[in-house]
Amino acid sequence: MSEDGYKGPAITADVTRDLYPNGRENVYILDVAAGTGMVGERLIKHGFVKVDALDPSQGMLDEAREKGVYQKFICAYFDGKEQNIPPDTYDAVVICGGCTNMHLPCDCLREVVRLVKPGGYFVMATRPFHLTTVDEYKGRFENLIDQIESEGKWTKIRKDTVPGYHGEHEGIVFVYKIN
Ligand SMILES: C[S@@+](CC[C@H](N)C(=O)[O-])C[C@H]1O[C@@H](n2cnc3c(N)ncnc32)[C@H](O)[C@@H]1O
């Protein structure tokens, strides 16, 4: 996909880098919907060291393993149910390209809140097109993000569109700080 002008992983990794000007080697990250590891590859180039990959496809995880960038490989659906991971485990959860048709359900946002330590971050990138056209997301995804914020569980740091996310298509980047 990178040869197809897919900049999502680079955008996601750059946004995460900018949240941590120092001490990236101590930041523990879960890359949800890691796929073949394109986000992890870029995080490591930015100086992050402790990155786990979660994806329901063992084939994808096997490819990601070959990149030599992840610590743990979790073969599971991120489907809103509790993962077999203790609360407040990660400093950040990143999701790039996970919100498309037939992928992550909205409910998984609450699991992000459970997994990230207070003071940590949720970083997500996708095409806004998916959020407005996929039945699971339209009228729900951004409302749930706002609802979680109104419950005081996280605080918006940024939510904005970025050009050139995938070819000529723009992306949308969400960054929330867990309270
Ligand atoms: C478009 S790829 C994105 C991969 C990578 N993050 C990137 O941006 O290059 C979407 C990935 O989401 C995974 N996926 C689909 N449903 C999922 C779910 N419920 N939980 C976690 N990952 C899921 C797929 O297996 C696939 O690897």
Task: Answer yes or no: is pLDDT of 77 > 60.
Answer: yes
Interatomic CA distance for residues 53 and 39, integer angstroms: 10
Indicate the average pLDDT of the chain.
96
Is there an atom of ligand 1 within 6 Å of 95 CB? no
What confidence tens digit (pLDDT) does each residue in 128-157 have? 999 999 999 999 999 999 999 999 999 999
How far from 120 is each of 19, 42, 63, 92, CA to CA, in Å? 10, 20, 28, 5
How far from 133 is each of 3, 100, 165, CA to CA, in Å? 26, 9, 17
Nearest CA to ligand 1 atom 17: 103
Task: Give the domain extent around 164.
Answer: 2-178
From edge to edge, which strands make up the β-sheet containing 73-75? Answer: 73-75, 50-55, 28-32, 90-96, 116-126, 169-178, 154-166
Contact 122, 144 (CB under 8 A): no
Number of domains, the chain: 1
CATH number for the domain that contains residue 142:
3.40.50.150
Is there an atom of ligand 1 within 6 Å of 30 CB? no
Interatomic CA distance for residues 176 and 179, integer angstroms: 9
Contact 35, 54 (CB under 8 A): no
Contact 32, 93 (CB under 8 A): yes
Instruction: Compute the distance from residue 36 Cα to the ligand 1 centre, in Å.
Output: 9
pLDDT band at 163 (very low <50, low <70, confident <90, very high): very high
